[in-house]
């Protein structure tokens, strides 16, 4: 190559800045022989790899570089791949959460687009009934219910494979029907067209006055704004969402619905599908990468009217977004707990503001943050104080279990109450937040407790599998025959888990079948749905469950709910423990008495006189939360103080400690900045690593942001950080 061609080449090529998905808070310069638009994806060499990054703009006057600048390998898009509002939202989030922009942008994309696939549809697998399938007498499949159900659905219209998965039809039924040639697969070509018009599937309910007021307020607003819809469990919040959404859909606009992890069920989907005859996509974990991309494209080009998804759905682009709904806005699964640690509720509010659309945050037990935003007039307040339909409020009964004999955690007054209820044909739910048989294995002779090799935690005894399991690192081993210290064979489980409770209840109430719902009993795909359906239909008079059943599900026949042990949370060191306990008790209580029979909640405790408990029981969650809020104000904790948490972990405790000490030393001194630590995490050792943390507490958010922004570039250079895994969590939730 001669000198002139090099020169002319240099003149026509541009230098662009590229954000690549690496944990570095900077962009990189690359030569490019075209000038791609900001926001298009480019494939570039990075180290020894090829990675997909984003063009962030041209470098106006590239500095002459001593080393050879690398060149873009390929420009992947003709147009920016994200919509403008989502692009801005991601930039905002990278800035607010102080997370490397390349990683944040990658996070906003479906996996296939992160890997460089084209942002376009391919044909997708769909199924339809064959003429034989159309004519078959459905009754002939009465011994194959799953097949019957699926065939019935396909006879009324073909279905994409991803919809069959979303609605949890059995895939073996699908295969069987195909083998019998009652249905057939074909390749469906999705259209990038928006081809729906608003249509109602079933008539809306007649709203009660509070609901009507809420729907009217949202519809009549001059300025789009956030709303906190605070409605006791069973007050009909979902009906308010549906009717507020109807107005938006009627105008041809789209709606984004964010639900907590546990809320993303076929029941949720069915409820929306029943009301609206418009295309609805559900973004959930069972989708293949291709199905997820298709759903994403449907939202982006307007083909989907409603998108329902968990927290990451907040980054879905829409062609015409008209409203965002965040259900159970207090739920901790809305906060991402690793990597890019964003809060989907907070981003929903930011997005609503940027896109000028209303945001409805709904909960029976709102977060203190949202309650405070109401009193600061940042959110409008909508209240539903009555249960909808015929459901009546629940009663509380506190059982003081001091010095009482307990049978698998159950006191005699509770057992008696349960018996009464069961004999009247009602359903009883016992809540305990420990799965397994017992939370620890104890030597009865010497007091030795089986401790995880890799964590500061005891092994949980799982009797059915004859295993000890660590719920923190996943370590598993056979239950030992002898004590490690004294050799005794007198090993016993200490404490109570769901498995033991199930066993004891079976012995106490042999005539009443027990159903256990926890992570162990619902491991098989679809089994959670089946258990929930069985519970709802009162096939099991006795229900035992963990967190999993605390939220959202309706058990209309349950009239008694018992919580066995609530004391841990009353004296926890976590400043959010009281808020979480109030939410949990209220949510669990909300499972009772949803139909016409009134419900009772039994709380067993050693501290019946505890202020928090009394406040919650006598004044209800709303008043309880407001008194917690006053305490937070006195202690300058969120939402009054602004927190940021540095975490570090390493095989050597002193490395983790030293890294955080180095950070603490580098931070500027400021009268309004408090730095606490380094201190060990609540569980200091986990999976063989020592974990430390450093807490920053600031009175003002702006100041916290400024301090982080100024310090991070230097902090990242600290040699002490090279020996540890570290991260920054802005607005940390659990620590």
By CB atoms closer than 10 A (0-12, 13-18, 19+), residue 672 is middle
Judged by CB under 6 A, does residue 204 bind ligand ADP? Answer: no
HSE of 58 in the Cβ direction (CA atoms, 13 Å)? 12
- Give the interface segment with Zn ion, choosing from 103-111, 387-395, 464-472, 668-676 (CB under 5 A): 464-472
> CB under 8 Å to 49, separation ≥6 — which residues?
none
DSSP of 445-484: TT--B-B-SSSSSBPEEETTTTEEE-TTT--EEEPPSS-T
* Binding-site member from 14, 167, 178, 208 for ligand ADP (CB under 6 A): 208
Nearer to ligand ADP, 232 or 408 (CB): 232
Distance separating alpha carbons of residues 269 and 166, to the nearest angstrom: 8
Nearer to ligand ADP, 556 or 677 (CB): 556
Nearer to ligand ADP, 205 or 277 (CB): 205
* Binding-site member from 133, 226, 234, 260 for ligand ADP (CB under 6 A): 234
Q: Which residue is nearest to ligand ADP (CB)?
A: 236
Nearer to ligand ADP, 62 or 393 (CB): 393
Judged by CB under 5 A, does residue 440 bind Zn ion? Answer: no
157 within 8 A of 164, measured Cβ to Cβ? no
Residue given tokens 């390493």 in the structure block: 650
Judged by CB under 5 A, does residue 297 bind Zn ion? Answer: no
Residue 483 is assigned to a ligand binding site? yes
Answer with the entry of ligand ADP, Zn ion, none that 455 interacts with (C-beta below 5 to 8 A by kind).
Zn ion
* Binding-site member from 22, 35, 153, 205 for ligand ADP (CB under 6 A): 205
For the bound state, the minimum distance from the C-beta of residue 386 to ligand ADP, rounded and expressed in Å, comes to 10
* Binding-site member from 99, 107, 162, 237 for ligand ADP (CB under 6 A): 237
Q: Helical H runs in 492-566?
A: 498-508, 527-536
Answer with the entry of ligand ADP, Zn ion, none that 448 interacts with (C-beta below 5 to 8 A by kind).
Zn ion
Nearer to Zn ion, 261 or 445 (CB): 445
- Give the interface segment with ligand ADP, choosing from 20-28, 226-234, 478-486, 709-717 (CB under 6 A): 226-234
Answer with the entry of ligand ADP, Zn ion, none that 388 interacts with (C-beta below 5 to 8 A by kind).
ligand ADP
Answer with the entry of ligand ADP, Zn ion, none that 629 interacts with (C-beta below 5 to 8 A by kind).
none
Distance separating alpha carbons of residues 217 and 78, to the nearest angstrom: 42
Nearer to ligand ADP, 354 or 392 (CB): 392
Phi and psi, residue 207, nearest 5°: -75, 150
Nearer to ligand ADP, 290 or 551 (CB): 551
Nearer to ligand ADP, 404 or 595 (CB): 595
Answer with the entry of Zn ion, ligand ADP, none that 211 interacts with (C-beta below 5 to 8 A by kind).
ligand ADP
Judged by CB under 6 A, does residue 238 bind ligand ADP? Answer: yes
Judged by CB under 5 A, does residue 471 bind Zn ion? Answer: no
For the bound state, the minimum distance from the C-beta of residue 212 to ligand ADP, rounded and expressed in Å, comes to 9
For the bound state, the minimum distance from the C-beta of residue 508 to ligand ADP, rounded and expressed in Å, comes to 31
Using a CB cutoff of 8 Å and minimum separation of 24, what contacts does 184-187 make? 184/127, 184/128, 184/130, 185/125, 185/126, 185/127, 186/126, 186/127, 186/128, 186/158, 187/123, 187/124, 187/125, 187/126
* Binding-site member from 13, 148, 170, 235 for ligand ADP (CB under 6 A): 235
30 within 8 A of 54, measured Cβ to Cβ? no
Write the binding mask 594 to 633 for ligand ADP: x where contact by CB under 6 A, - elsewhere.
----------------------------------------
Residue 32 is assigned to a ligand binding site? no
CA distances from 561 to 164, 279, 349, 594, 604 (A): 35, 38, 35, 12, 11
Residue 22 DSSP one-character state: S
Distance separating alpha carbons of residues 469 and 167, to the nearest angstrom: 33
Helix, strand, or coil (residue 43): strand
For the bound state, the minimum distance from the C-beta of residue 274 to ligand ADP, rounded and expressed in Å, comes to 11
- Give the interface segment with ligand ADP, choosing from 236-244, 497-505, 683-691, 697-705 (CB under 6 A): 236-244
Answer with the entry of Zn ion, ligand ADP, none that 452 interacts with (C-beta below 5 to 8 A by kind).
Zn ion
Residues 589-627, buried b or exposed e (16+ Cβ, 10 A)? bbbbbbbebebbbbbbbebeebebbebbbeeebbebbee
Judged by CB under 6 A, does residue 586 bind ligand ADP? Answer: no
Structure tokens at 151: 């065939």
* Binding-site member from 428, 430, 452, 730 for Zn ion (CB under 5 A): 452
Distance separating alpha carbons of residues 295 and 315, to the nearest angstrom: 13
- Give the interface segment with ligand ADP, choosing from 63-71, 228-236, 406-414, 563-571 (CB under 6 A): 228-236
521 within 8 A of 548, measured Cβ to Cβ? no
The secondary structure of 385-436, three-state, reads CCCCCCCCCCEEEEEECCCCCCECCECHHHHHHHHHHHHCCCEEEEECCCCC
Judged by CB under 5 A, does residue 473 bind Zn ion? Answer: yes
Judged by CB under 5 A, does residue 120 bind Zn ion? Answer: no
Q: Which of 225, 220, 232 is nearest to 377 (CA)?
A: 225
Helix, strand, or coil (residue 252): coil
Strand 254-258 relative to strand 306-309, pairing: parallel
Residue 470 is assigned to a ligand binding site? yes
Judged by CB under 5 A, does residue 412 bind Zn ion? Answer: no
Residues 245-268, buried b or exposed e (16+ Cβ, 10 A)? bbebbeeebbbbbbbbebbbbbbb
Judged by CB under 5 A, does residue 617 bind Zn ion? Answer: no
Judged by CB under 6 A, does residue 551 bind ligand ADP? Answer: no
Residue 446 is assigned to a ligand binding site? yes
* Binding-site member from 267, 350, 383, 448 for Zn ion (CB under 5 A): 448
Q: Which of residues 314-373 bind ligand ADP (CB under 6 A)?
A: none
- Give the interface segment with Zn ion, choosing from 53-61, 298-306, 488-496, 699-707 (CB under 5 A): 488-496
692 within 8 A of 660, measured Cβ to Cβ? yes
Q: Which of residues 376-415 bind ligand ADP (CB under 6 A)?
A: 388-389
The secondary structure of 146-189, three-state, reads HHHHHHHHHHCCCEEHHHHHHCCCCHHHHHHHHHCCCEEEEEEC
Binding interface with Zn ion (CB under 5 A): 443, 445-446, 448, 452, 454-455, 470, 472-473, 475, 483, 485-486, 488
- Output the known binding site for Zn(2+): 443, 446, 452, 455, 470, 473, 483, 486
Using CB under 6 A, list all residues that contact ligand ADP: 205-208, 211, 231, 233-239, 388-389
């Amino acid at each position: 190559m001669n000198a002139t061609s090099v020169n002319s080449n240099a003149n026509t090529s541009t230098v662009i800045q590229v954000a690549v998905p690496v944990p570095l808070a900077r962009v990189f310069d690359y030569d490019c022989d075209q000038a791609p638009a900001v926001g298009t994806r480019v494939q570039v060499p990075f180290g020894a790899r090829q990675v997909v990054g984003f063009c962030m703009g041209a470098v106006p006057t590239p500095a002459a570089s001593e080393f050879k600048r690398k060149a873009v390998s390929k420009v992947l898009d003709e147009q920016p791949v994200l919509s403008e509002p989502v692009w801005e939202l991601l930039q905002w989030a990278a800035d607010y959460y102080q997370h490397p922009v390349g990683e944040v942008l990658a996070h906003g994309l479906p996996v296939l687009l992160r890997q460089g696939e084209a942002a376009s549809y391919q044909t997708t697998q769909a199924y339809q009934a064959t003429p034989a399938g159309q004519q078959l007498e459905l009754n002939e499949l009465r011994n194959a219910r799953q097949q019957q159900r699926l065939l019935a659905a396909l006879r009324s219209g073909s279905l994409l494979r991803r919809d069959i998965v979303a609605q949890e039809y059995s895939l073996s039924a699908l295969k069987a029907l195909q083998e019998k040639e009652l249905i057939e697969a074909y390749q469906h070509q999705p259209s990038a067209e928006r081809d729906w018009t608003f249509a109602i599937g079933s008539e809306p309910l007649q709203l009660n006055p509070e609901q009507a007021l809420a729907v009217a307020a949202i519809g009549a607003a001059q300025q789009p704004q956030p709303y906190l819809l605070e409605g006791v469990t069973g007050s009909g919040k979902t009906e308010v969402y549906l009717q507020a959404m109807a107005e938006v859909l009627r105008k041809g606009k789209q709606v984004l619905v964010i639900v907590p992890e546990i809320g993303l069920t076929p029941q949720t989907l069915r409820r929306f599908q029943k009301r609206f005859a418009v295309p609805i996509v559900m973004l959930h974990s069972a989708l293949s990468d291709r199905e997820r991309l298709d759903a994403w494209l449907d939202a982006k080009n307007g083909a989907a009217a409603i998108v329902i998804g968990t927290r990451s759905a907040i980054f879905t682009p829409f062609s015409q977004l008209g409203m965002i709904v965040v259900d159970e806005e207090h739920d901790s699964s809305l906060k991402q707990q690793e990597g890019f640690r964003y809060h989907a509720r907070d981003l929903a509010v930011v997005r609503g503001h940027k896109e000028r659309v209303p945001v409805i945050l709904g909960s029976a037990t709102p977060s203190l943050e949202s309650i405070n935003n109401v009193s600061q007039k940042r959110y409008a307040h909508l209240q539903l104080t009555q249960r909808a339909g015929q459901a009546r409020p629940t009663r509380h009964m506190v059982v003081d279990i001091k010095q009482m004999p307990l049978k698998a955690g159950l006191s005699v007054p509770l057992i008696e109450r349960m018996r009464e209820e069961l004999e009247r044909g009602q359903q009883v739910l016992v809540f305990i937040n420990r799965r397994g048989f017992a939370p620890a294995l104890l030597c009865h002779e010497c007091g030795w407790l089986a401790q995880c090799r890799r964590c500061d935690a005891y092994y949980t005894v799982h009797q059915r599998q004859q295993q000890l399991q660590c719920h923190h690192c996943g370590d598993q081993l056979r239950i030992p025959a002898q004590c490690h210290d004294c050799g005794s064979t007198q090993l016993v489980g200490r404490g109570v888990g769901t498995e033991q409770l199930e066993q004891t209840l079976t012995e106490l109430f042999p005539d009443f079948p027990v159903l256990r719902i926890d992570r162990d009993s619902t491991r098989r795909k679809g089994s959670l749905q089946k258990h929930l359906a069985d519970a709802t239909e009162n096939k099991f008079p006795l229900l035992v469950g963990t967190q999993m059943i605390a939220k959202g599900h309706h058990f209309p026949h349950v009239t008694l709910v018992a919580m066995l042990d609530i004391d841990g949370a009353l004296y926890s060191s976590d400043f959010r423990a009281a808020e979480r306990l109030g939410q949990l008790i209220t949510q669990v209580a909300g499972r009772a008495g949803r139909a016409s029979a009134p419900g009772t909640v039994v709380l067993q405790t050693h501290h019946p006189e505890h202020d928090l408990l009394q406040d919650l029981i006598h004044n209800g969650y709303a008043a309880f939360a407001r008194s917690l809020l006053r305490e937070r104000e006195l202690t300058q904790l969120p939402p009054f103080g602004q927190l940021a948490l540095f975490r570090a972990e390493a095989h050597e405790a002193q490395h983790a400690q030293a890294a955080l000490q180095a950070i603490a030393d580098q931070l500027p001194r400021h009268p309004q900045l408090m730095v606490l630590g380094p201190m060990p995490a609540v569980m200091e050792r986990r999976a063989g690593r020592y974990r430390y943390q450093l807490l920053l507490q600031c009175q003002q958010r702006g100041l916290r942001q400024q301090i982080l922004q100024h310090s991070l570039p230097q902090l990242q250079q600290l040699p002490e950080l090279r020996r540890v895994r570290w991260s920054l969590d802005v607005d940390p939730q659990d620590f």
